[in-house]
Structure 1
Amino acid sequence: MKEIVPIPKAYSAAVQRSDTCEFARLLGMAVTAIEDGRVKVAMPAAGMRNAHGTTHGGAIFAVADHAFGIAANLEGVDEIAISANIRYFTVPAGETVEAVAHMISETARTSVYAVEVYSGERLVASFEGVGFKIGGTANRE
């Protein structure tokens, strides 16, 4: 797992809310960094194997979706996913997988995030999530 970078104080509430959710705890997911507009979430691969002995695609999707959710909710406007797509490129080879999420675009009511999932330096999957703002319109510059 990569070195954990201190989380900026402005984002601590959003990270705590996400890190304490039951699903994230069940899968061992944790935010490892928020920097340069990117949210990084790591998850151990142990216990996530499918019948072929590789990391289950659902586990890879889960960590990507979790990173997307955190990134979409950092600024204090509640967002929910209305669409998500994933492309798998290869199977993870390491002991952890890490998802890196960042915003691609946004409107007053929606946003689009790209998430790359890595195992070490290996790109495992690419995910795109569309969020819908349920907590009012954002005032972002």
Structure 2
Amino acid sequence: MKKTASIPKAYAGAVQRSDTCEFAQLLGMAVTAIEDGRVRVAMPTEGMRNAHGTTHGGAIFAVADHAFGIAANMEGIDQIAISANIRYFSVPAGETLEAVAYMVSETEKTSVYAVDVYSGDRLVATFEGVGFKIGGTAKRE
């Protein structure tokens, strides 16, 4: 998966961590952009079909969850997911899914992120993740 040049240097550490994640590598996920508080992650759909011949819902969830995780941790405060919810709207039509994650709200201990998953211009699913700030800080480079 090709990466774009729109990843600010301040987020290089977060992208590095996501790029070396075994699960993300297994599924071919890649951060393609971080801009305006949004994280974009792309994933090919080849080999991810369900019994109906369409992209498996678990694959759609996986790319949304991965984008959420990157967005929640890119500012250097370690967070883990405590809740996630997804709504499926349409069947993916393309060869790639793109998840776009952004913060909705946060408190001292929690955060809420929304993720929109697209197949081309088609909205496939929306995801909401709640993060819990576990303390410490992730290294930012």
Deviation at 1:5?
3.5
State how far apart, in whole Å, the 1-side matches of 2:43 and 2:55 are.
11
The aligned counterpart of 1:83 is 83
Matched letter for residue 42 of structure 2: A
- Runs of 4+ aligned residues of structure 1 deviating over 6 Å after TM superposition are none
| CA distances 1:83-126 after superposition (whole Å, capped 9, x unpaired) | 00000000100000000000000000000000000000000000
Gaps of 5+ in 2: none
Residue of structure 1 in register with 2:74 after alignment: 74
1:34 matches 2:46:
no
When residues 79 and 27 of structure 1 are mapped into structure 2, their CA distance, relative to the original with a 3 A threshold, is: same
Structure 2 residue aligned with 1:7: 7
Matches of 1:30 and 1:89, distance apart in 2 = 23
> What is the TM-score when the length of structure 1 is the normalising length?
0.93
Aligned partner letter, 2:7: I
Shift of 1:3: 7.4
Q: Any residues of structure 2 matched to 1:121-132 within 5 Å, and which? A: 121-132=121-132
Question: How far is the alpha carbon of 1:135 from its aligned partner?
Answer: 1.9
**Secondary structure of 1:4 counterpart:** coil
- Matched residues, percent identical? 84
2:56 maps to: 56
1:44 aligned residue: 44
Tell me how far 1:19 sits from its aligned partner.
1.3
- For 2:131, the aligned partner's letter is G
Structure with the higher fraction of residues in strand conformation: 2
Number of equivalences:
137
Aligned to 2:65: 65
Q: CA RMSD in A?
A: 1.5
TM-score by length of 2: 0.93
Separation in 2, partners of 1:62, 1:21: 13
